[in-house]
Every structure is written in C-alpha cells, then in structure tokens.
Chains A and B, each alone.
Chain A
Amino acid sequence: MPTYTLSINRTPHTVEVEADTPLLWVLREHLQLTGTKYGCGMAQCGACTIHVNGNPVRSCIVPISSVKAEQEITTIEGLSESGDHPLQEAWVEAQVPQCGYCQSGQIMQAAALLAKNPQPDREEIIQFMNGNLCRCGTYMRIIKAIEMAAKPLESHGK
C-alpha cells in the first residue's frame, strides 16, 4: 500500500492507505481529525470542507493520491490556535450552531471567503456559501456572523 506524507495544520503526517481513499476518511478515520464531517460523499453539502493552500475544498471527493506533499491542508482544528478566529468568535456571538454537524464546513468555507474578500457584502456572502447545507436552518445567523466577522478590523479591537 502506498505511503503519503501530508502537511496538515502545519504538521507533517504520514499515512499508509490505498491511492483512491478520499482525503475525508484519511483526516477523520486515520488521523482522528474528526471536526471535518461526512455528509454526502459527493460534494453536495459542504460538511467536509477544508482548505488546501487556503482554498476551500470538499475533502470527500479528493483522492489522497491527488494531494501533493507541498500542499498545506488546514482543517477546523487548525483554523486558529484556540478557537479564536474572528469567525469562530462571531459564530459564538451570533449563536449560530444548532446540531452543529455542518458548522465546521460552514466556518471553513466562510474563512476562505474572508481571506480573499475581507468585507464581502450580503450577496457575495450568499453566493460563496451556497454550497454548504444546513438542515437546522441556521442560514440567517451564518450570514449575520460572517457580517460581524467582516467588520473593519479596528472595530474588533484586535
């Protein structure tokens, strides 16, 4: 079986798995990074969203063989040091999650948006977040939390 070395959350990890194993299962079941969730297995729901070199990617459809060693993978566990990314703080402030299952993916998707576009308007938020499903229906608060986190930096006190 082939061996792969990945850089995940700035730490190297080596795994021995079949080449077509989806990155999602590698993260969750081989490396115990269980914050990334399985929802559909075909990039329809966004629960498995992670970053590859800062871009949001659905890890359920990425075979591990397509990930290059020099690519930097970030999961929800590595988004911030102690859960204090401005989006995570806004998510708590706006009391976004209900069941919470989709929220890692929502936050990772939103973090990729703010990294590219620090002050998106409502339409840009909706367009960028449209691939992430939430069955509890927390969408109104997701929009609110992203708008809160997207406020000018000085108003954050950081």
Chain B
Amino acid sequence: MENKLNPSILTRRKFLQKSGGLTLGITALAAFPGMLATPREGLSTNGSQLTAWVNIQPDGKITIMNPAAEMGQGSMTALPVIIAEELDADWSQVVIEHSPNDVDTYGLERWGGRKIMLTVGSFTVSGYYESLRKAGAQARYVLLYSAAKKWGVPLEELKTNPSRILHPKTSQEISYGEIISDISMPESLPDLPLKDPENFQLIGSVMPRWDIPQKVDGSAIFAGDVRVPNMLYGVIERGKVHGAKPNLQNLSEIQEMEGIEEVVEMDYGVGIIASTIERALKAKKLLNIAWTNDTPSQGHGSQESFERYADLAGDATEKGKVLTEIGNVEHAKSEAHTTYEADYKNDYVYHAQMEPLNAMASVSPDGQSVEVWAGTQAAGSLSSTVAQVLGIEASQVKFHPQYLGGGLGRRSLHDYVIEAVKLSNAVKKPVKLIWTRQDDLQYGHYRPLSLQRMKASVGKNGGLLGLSHTIVGDGSNLLASGAKNAYYDIPNQHLEIRTVNNGIRLKHWRAVGHGPNKFAIESFIDELASDQGMDPLAYRQQLMHNHPRALATLNKASEMARWSEPAQEGRAKGVAFGERSGALVTGICEISLDPEKGKIRVHHFWMAVDAGTIVQPDNAIAQLEGGIIMGMSSVLQEQLTIVNGEVQQTNLHDYSLLRISDVPESMDIFLMPSMEAPEGIGEGSLPVVGGAIGNAFAALTGKRLRHLPFTPDRVKAALR
C-alpha cells in the first residue's frame, strides 16, 4: 500500500519526521483517507516511512499507539494519555493499539541516546513523557494548520476543545474527524509550546485503564491464548541442574507415542512437538534422559553459601569492586566512640509471574521467515535475536505482541521465544510452546542470594561518622542496585561488591537489588538509632535534612501513621525509606506477632511517595499496593533453595506466595503533589517492605531479623 503514495508527500513526511525530532503525530492515513481501509498493514511493515503515534479517522476515532509491553503496570493507558493530553483529544474516542515493533520510530532514548523498546526499570512513563507530549502537540498542530488553511484564518486564533477546533472570532467549529478530509501537511513544524500543567485535563486525573474491561470478561488475549491453523504444541524437558546436557535414552519409544510429531534434541533439553498439549505433556513425563553432571552449578548449595560469603566479606586480602568511596571509613573507625557490625542475608527468590512462560512461533516452509506471538518486555531486540537463531534477516521476523501475564523482569529475556522458534523450525509449522509451572520455577532466573556486611562508626554524640557496606554474591550488577546511599549524609562511606560465580541463572526481579540492599541499610540504620536511644524516624530526619523531597516523604508518612503515638498493646510500628527509579518512598507498617507460630502479621501500611508528576494516580496507587504485597510475599515467605545445583521447589505448593489471608487490613498511600518530571512508580514500594517489617519486629520484641525471608523458624530462632 505504501508504494502508492505520492512521492512528494513522502519526501515531506520524511522532512517532518526529521524537523520534529520525532515522528510526526499524524499518519499518512489521515492525509490519505483512501488508505483508511487497511490502516494496520501500511503501518506495520514499513516503519521507516509510514510511522506515527496517532491516526484519526473521519468518524472521529483516534487510534494511539502504545510502544510498551503491558504486563500489568498500566503504561498502555498512561502513554496514550500523555499524547491525548497535548493533542486535546476526547478520551472517549481514543482507541489504543500496540505499535509496530519499530525501534527507530517507537523506541525510547536511553543509555547514551540509543533507542530501545524495553519495558523494564519502571522507566516507561518517565522515559517517554517529554517525547510523547511533543508528539501529541505535533499532531494537534497539523490539525490546527489544516483548519486555518480551510477557513483562511491565522492559526494563532484557533483553539481546541477536546477533539474540536474552534475559531472564536468567526464562531466556526469543526471536529477532529471532520477536518481529516481537508488535512494539509505543514512545510515545517515550529517549536511547539506544551501545555501548562495547571491546564492538564487528563494527566493527573483518575481514569480507567484501557485493558481492564477485557481482563474481567476473559477476552484479553495472552500469548498462550493465541491459536493459528495447523498449530502444534511444544514442551521441553530441561535438566534439574542449569546447563546440564541431555542424552535421551528412549527416543524411539517417545516417537512412537500417539500424536507425537517430532522429538527435538537441544543442547540443554529435549523438546517434544505433539498434536495436543495433553499428548506433549504425557510424553514429557515419559522421557528417559541421562544428564551430564559437569556444569558449573553442580555442587552449589544455596544455604551453605552464607558461610562462604561471610568468610569472603571478612577476608582482608580480598578486593572487590568499589562503588562508593567517600572520605575514609577506616579513619572514621579510629575516631569512633562505638563501632557496629552486622550481616544481613537473603535467599534466592523466583519471579512466579502468574502466567508461566510461553510463546508461539511459525517458521515458514522455506525457513526464511517467521512469525512470533509472545508477551515480552524486550520487543525491541526480539526480531534481531530470532533472526540470528534462524540465520535470516530481521525484516523477515514478524512479531505479534501480546499481553503479559506478569513480567517482573523474567520476560525481559528471550530464552522462551528462542525455544519456540527452534521447535517450529524443526517442523516448519506453527508451534505453541508451553512451560509448565515446574519448568518455570526450576529453570528460572532468580534474584541472587547475597550477604551484606554492614559496619558503622558512631561518634560520642551519636552522630554517624562512617558506613561501610560490603555485598557478597553472584550476579554482579544485580547486586548493586539500591546499595548506593544518596539521601543520608554520612561523611565517610565505602560500598563494595565481592563477586562469586555459582553457575545459577540470575536475573532482574522486581526492584532488583533494592529489595536486599534497602533491607540491610534500613535495618542497620534502625539498629544504630535504637542503640543511641534515638527514635529511628528522628534519626533518619537528621541524616536526610539536606534532601527536602526525601525528607518530606518521611514527614508525611510519619504524620499518616501517627508515628509519635504508641501502637496498641501487642503491636509496633517500623519505618523504612528507599528510592527506586527516581521515586522517593517512605513506608511505615504496624505488625503483631504470634510467637508460638513464629508468624508476623502486618496490620497496616502507610506510605508517602514522591514520584514527580503522576500521569495516572489511581493506577500509580495500584502499582504501589501491588509492590507492598509482592514485597511482603518475598519478605515473609518466598524462599528458593538449591542443593547440589538442583532447585528444591517444584510448584506453588512448596514455593509459597502471599495469599489474600495475609494482606494488611489497610494500606494508605499518599502521592506527594509535584510539578516535577515523572519518576518510576512500578518498583517504588517493594524495597522498603523488608526494612519496615524488620524494624517493627525489633520495636516489638527487641530482636533483629537479619535474614530474608522471615520464615517462622527464623522468627522463632530470633525470639530465643
């Protein structure tokens, strides 16, 4: 379809794309109403010329592209809201579609200007905010330009109401849909002013999410729900030890089973392709595989690691990677009145997104092209990755993005997509790959187990002179996030990572290292405060008095939780502060304890959050609520253990997630009013949960919990 375009218009379009610094807001569909019959075809195949964020049809329907994965975080609504705000669109006429998988057009500038389509790190809304405001303003400008031309009036005299253009002087009015038939492309785009945030109509107001109606009637489509003609089912048996190589003992037996199309021997597993899922799963159970036993993770035992890690933390000859060196902690120690040292630990945790991994791929009979259906956080690199697997051009990979039944970092890897492609390539037919829950759990990529050695030097008056934090574990940068201390003024600081290699697959898990690191830092700060006989909140107020925004969240949360009033009999409150992806968060919780069962009960959570401008406040609160729940789940019960390289848990009966019976009676979350740039919300609340609960426990019992999760055995041991 795109070949039929008038070349002069194409040139102008290219010019506009360049002059705008971004894609033009209005697509060729608007300029060429004749193309309206096949809107998606023209957009998805040739992104370099026919790309844009907005498409308006004569009936007024406004289609806005969503470039990010929708995994529950709600950005598929939030991003179009930003465009619609500056476009001055009538939200009731907006329709949201997945954008084409075109990084140059729809990517986000990140990490030195490189464009990416990667939904991670809570940076989707904050990262796209300015560019999508511009895109919306550009689209509105083209509409104004066209109306000014049609009416022969100066553009400056035009105003808009949602989806309508007005010329007050002549009382003329036209809707966005009606102007489409008279659209004119401007020769250039001026530097367009953006709205004064005071005049926002959509940003900052409570609006329903686009995806929710489909998620209450069962019609939302996830990758596992996709069906195409002649589709087969794939499953893979992977080793109990990561990286072990299979040697299949009963190939012919499996091949002869009813409905088995193909057995695919891979370097770390055996794939089965069958006519139905139940046949594939039945064959999977009957596989007889001898596994190699020489992988790096062979011999790794998770719980034995802590002793080794502690030795490494204390080894004076060991030099790790130093991330912070301020002043001289050794000198501070020599001047200290009191010194402190404590180790904090955390076990491995598993993503446990509700939808086990899955993907569908259909390699063409000649092997030269492929279609992929998947829910992924990393759409931008999917095509090139898949192309490399097949040895074809990336342009021959057609990707159909789907909803993600949770991402949490796990779906930022392409392993499951590559597997689906390999299986399909073996039969040159569409294959839907399904991971069982056991596959997903045992062949996961986990948040690393680590040990944090905290040391402090405190002066005569109780002032914190020096803080040293040594992290020991596997996963290098995964361990680092959240360890740097940016809001407590401490004159001497040392932060170091000492790395080991256990051969276990590790990955970003919601908030990454912030969970373990903030737990260690916030617990330790609390210990120091109480040993000085100081209120832990007041102690923090002193330490962060030079950081007014962070301090404001502390003060607000204190007020919300009535910190100065004692908790009722048998309960206590705990506080923790953390920053993640730019959001500043103070959380306070109130707990009680069943000492016989070793069970901590969280009754209330109060939280004050400064994340700058909030695009979707109700959704932001929902994300923060969810982060508290996931935080509580990881802090109170989630534990993945490894013996001789083998993950010991098999399904959700022995990898325990927080259930509804353990939720607090109330959560009170306050978003600090702000005109500052938006910051990341999705991972903001989780990091403070461990510290808040642990500190409440210390306030209640006088005992410290220093090992995540706070299992009943550990709670009882601490009480002894």
Contact = CB atoms under 8 A, between A and B. Distances in A.
A133 B652 contact: yes
Contacts of B564: none
A21 B282 CA distance: 10
B216 A88 contact: yes
Given A45-B354, A100-B72, A38 B225 contact: no
A47 B218 CA distance: 11
Contacts of A18: 278-279
Interface string B607-621: 000000000001100
Given A29-B276, A135-B354, A44 B651 contact: yes
Contacts of A133: 354, 652, 657, 659
Nearest to B221: A34
Interface in A118-137: 126-127, 129-137
Given A75-B218, A141-B625, A44 B653 contact: yes
Most buried by B among A32, A91, A98: A98
A112 interface: no
A32 B227 contact: yes
Interface in A99-158: 99-104, 107, 126-127, 129-143
Contacts of A88: 216-217
A141 B622 contact: yes
Given A41-B437, A101-B355, A139-B663, A77 B212 contact: no
Contacts of A30: 276
A97 B216 contact: yes
A97 B406 contact: no
Nearest to B630: A137
Interface residues of B, number: 62
Interface string A69-111: 0000001110110010000100110011111111110010000
A36 B597 CA distance: 36
Nearest to B619: A95
B37 interface: no
Contacts of A28: 225
Contact of B661 (A34, A39, A41, A130): A130
A38 B93 CA distance: 35
A77 B355 CA distance: 19
Interface of A: prevailing SS: loop
B218 A135 contact: no
A137 B627 contact: yes
Given A42-B651, A99-B405, A92 B627 contact: no
B355 A17 contact: no
Contacts of A54: none
A130 B659 contact: yes
A51 to B, nearest CB: 13
Contacts of A135: 352-354, 406, 408, 630, 657
B216 A130 contact: no
Contact of B215 (A33, A34, A97): A97
Interface in B519-534: none
B585 interface: no
Contact of A38 (B71, B208, B209, B356): B356
A37 B404 CA distance: 13
Contacts, number: 176
Interface in A5-33: 17-18, 20-22, 25, 28-30, 32-33
A107 B217 CA distance: 9
Nearest to B70: A99
A83 B216 contact: yes
B216 A92 contact: yes
A18 B257 CA distance: 13
B215 to A, nearest CB: 3
Contacts of A17: 276, 278
Interface string B60-99: 0000000000011110000000000000000000000000
B405 A100 contact: yes
Contacts of B403: 99-100
A95 B628 contact: no
A127 B622 CA distance: 23
Interface string A41-71: 1101101000000000000000000000000
Contacts of A131: 659
Interface string B337-371: 00000000000000011111000000000000000
A39 B217 contact: no
Interface of B: 71-74, 208-209, 211-222, 224-225, 227, 233, 276-279, 352-356, 403-408, 434, 436-437, 618-619, 622-623, 625-630, 633, 651-653, 657-661, 663-664, 667
15 contacts: A18-B279, A21-B276, A25-B276, A34-B227, A83-B217, A91-B216, A92-B208, A97-B216, A99-B406, A99-B407, A101-B222, A135-B408, A137-B625, A137-B627, A140-B664
Interface of A: 17-18, 20-22, 25, 28-30, 32-42, 44-45, 47, 75-77, 79-80, 83, 88, 91-92, 95-104, 107, 126-127, 129-143
Given A44-B653, A95-B209, 19 more contacts: A18-B279, A41-B436, A42-B437, A42-B652, A45-B354, A77-B217, A97-B209, A97-B211, A98-B623, A99-B403, A99-B406, A100-B215, A101-B405, A126-B663, A133-B652, A134-B660, A135-B408, A137-B633, A141-B625
